[in-house]
Structure 1
């Protein structure tokens, strides 16, 4: 039988010392908050927050035909991604439903790092292993050997530029060179670096709607790297942030969450991710016929809803048009940044634009349909 005890993060002792409250998440014991949800959320919007993402799954796909194998396995055209860049894409089933959403980094001509949600580690690894059959490529689950922390917020780059011990991993392996490369790094790109003599992949990616970076390194390195990041950034407003703040941040930014906005029966178009469907991709891929068919639009569409007051609709609450149930909330919260309730919901297409309400435990909460995202950072 599987061990029911949640797995501790490599940073568990650090979180305990910081006074974190913990929750079980996808088999891991992870910090849900430290000082408080609101304080951590506001810190990320105004300065920076440091997140432990060690629960995420990291899976390598490598070999001479790795690019062709991933083109056949995933929605995106990964062969077109240059080395040093990343792509957000989806793993679909044959019916066009979403098995998981992924960030894929091309770390070499024949090497990719696929980052999956923690709950889908085995699902993604198994699907990839099945789908690379027939290609000169292999799949390696490296989750236990790769740790991940993220620094997110408008001051994230400023803080990371000040962290001592980083050096570029190229022909000029110096701290000065690292700072030049980091200052020039654009979104969905990454650079190889060394910190205190250990390899770190530094990516300008994130899941908060803010600028920021994700740092991939050996799990044993994370406690020391976390401590130095906190020491460097504390004076600039950097705080440790937990899963609760991460969830409200991504909700404000209109970012879908697997198991809420994304499911095995939800197509990309229904979830507002039709832009990810390549119309001219040369190679075939699992789910292609389904997502290119007119039926992929689905009977319901994801919308943003906002309300007045302090009560918020939560996942699973019905959406009503008059006395008729026309949808369901997938994520909802009182927005810390905007100061009013927000929610994402799947709603019948013919009800979009109608007068809607959320059934909050028997009380009707009038809502207005608004475009996503609810919040977008200033350029």
Structure 2
């Protein structure tokens, strides 16, 4: 989190609309972001039952063009990108040589034209500069061109069971056939927009990238359609109910995908070499020593980030994220614990202000949408 006395916080193109809506703001990854509009519970439930929208323009955005783009990218990620068809996207990771997670990313493959392949990459706000430097250093191709469009494009997430219906009313093209993790370029209010059926809430929804002026107009169109604006607070409770990792908390350069439960993005059998492969092969062979688990508190005491996980009087791990989940109605958390204590049903305790309170390892995610 940036220190505003050292450097001013950045503001997204939609900042003025959030200010006009009397949103509460907070510093996040160097940006001044809305944390709450109408209230966390109202915003959270809007996404679960109807539709909510988030300004996520702070996230890093890149484009790539080159005739061997996909093959050049294979060294950078543990996932087999050759599986991607034009119009599809893949959630994957940038890894360091030790198998630690530099960032979790989504690569959107746009296909090939004039013998050149094209792709869009979305990364976390706090790692944008680090990711850019890492990619430029390790991309094994002189023919692939990378452009940073982070400041030129705005990004809005429209999430919830009514998201498709609301977006379709503003889009000229038919989007009903779009599946999860697909994308296309459409026209919204007469402006070109890149839309992807992806999100970070556990609900159906879209992420929409477009020029700032068009984004301002779209946000206002969504407001008129009854979409509830949502801040970082609801974004965090929604993703936590869906057991989605937050970079800097559940995952970082000291955690591997095998520890974090992201084994499904690691395609060791289908890929040749990639950065971090030998470390992951070794860890898979030896077995992970710790795992990221879901915890449910017995009462309503909340296990917060950094709280110690205790077993038989000894600290055995640490909470990465925790909240009182609005939809689930229980205090839930994610935490790293030894593999031997990671089975569903395992009884543990959380130390809160010098006292310990009972918790149980439960199956993830904590919530599954009935609308998907």
Distance in 2 (CA, whole Å) between partners of 1:255 and 1:266 is 15
Structure 1 partner of 2:270: 281
By how many angstroms is 1:38 displaced?
A: 0.9
Contact persistence 1:310–1:340 (CA under 8 A): yes
Structure 2 partner of 1:131: 138
1:23 aligns with 2:30: no
Contact persistence 1:65–1:135 (CA under 8 A): no
Structure 2 partner of 1:322: 312
Structure 2 partner of 1:337: 327
Contact persistence 2:75–2:140 (CA under 8 A): no
Structure 1's unaligned 5+ residue stretches are: 168-177
Structure 2 partner of 1:171: none
Residues 1-379 of structure 1 correspond to what in structure 2 (within 5 A)? 4-109=7-112, 110-163=117-170, 166-167=171-172, 178=173, 180=174, 182-232=175-225, 234=226, 238-294=227-283, 297-353=287-343, 354-378=346-370, 379=372
Contact persistence 2:298–2:360 (CA under 8 A): no
Distance in 2 (CA, whole Å) between partners of 1:160 and 1:224 is 13
Contact persistence 1:76–1:276 (CA under 8 A): yes
By how many angstroms is 1:61 displaced?
A: 2.1
By how many angstroms is 1:135 displaced?
A: 4.2
Normalised by the length of structure 2, the TM-score is 0.94
By how many angstroms is 1:284 displaced?
A: 1.6
- 3-state secondary structure, aligned to 1:54: coil
By how many angstroms is 1:297 displaced?
A: 4.2
- Which aligned segments of 4 or more residues in structure 1 are displaced greater than 4 angstroms? none
**Structure 1 residues 10 and 162, CA gap change in structure 2 (3 angstroms):** same
Distance in 2 (CA, whole Å) between partners of 1:134 and 1:185 is 32
Residue-by-residue CA offset, 1:295-330 (whole Å, 9 max, x unaligned): 574311010000133221001000000211111100
By how many angstroms is 1:26 displaced?
A: 0.9
Structure 2's unaligned 5+ residue stretches are: none
Distance in 2 (CA, whole Å) between partners of 1:100 and 1:370 is 26
Q: Which has the larger helix fraction?
A: 1
Contact persistence 1:268–1:274 (CA under 8 A): yes
Task: Please tell me the root mean square deviation across aligned C-alpha atoms, in Å.
Answer: 1.5
By how many angstroms is 1:133 displaced?
A: 4.0
Contact persistence 1:90–1:99 (CA under 8 A): yes
By how many angstroms is 1:281 displaced?
A: 2.9
Distance in 2 (CA, whole Å) between partners of 1:240 and 1:158 is 17
Contact persistence 2:189–2:218 (CA under 8 A): no
Residue-by-residue CA offset, 1:168-203 (whole Å, 9 max, x unaligned): xxxxxxxxxx1x3x1111000012101233210111
Residue-by-residue CA offset, 1:92-131 (whole Å, 9 max, x unaligned): 0000000000011012321111110000001111111011
By how many angstroms is 1:153 displaced?
A: 0.6
Distance in 1 (CA, whole Å) between partners of 2:330 and 2:64 is 43
- 3-state secondary structure, aligned to 1:183: coil
**Structure 1 residues 107 and 335, CA gap change in structure 2 (3 angstroms):** same
Distance in 2 (CA, whole Å) between partners of 1:56 and 1:217 is 13
- 3-state secondary structure, aligned to 2:180: coil
By how many angstroms is 1:372 displaced?
A: 0.6
Distance in 2 (CA, whole Å) between partners of 1:12 and 1:134 is 38
Normalised by the length of structure 1, the TM-score is 0.92
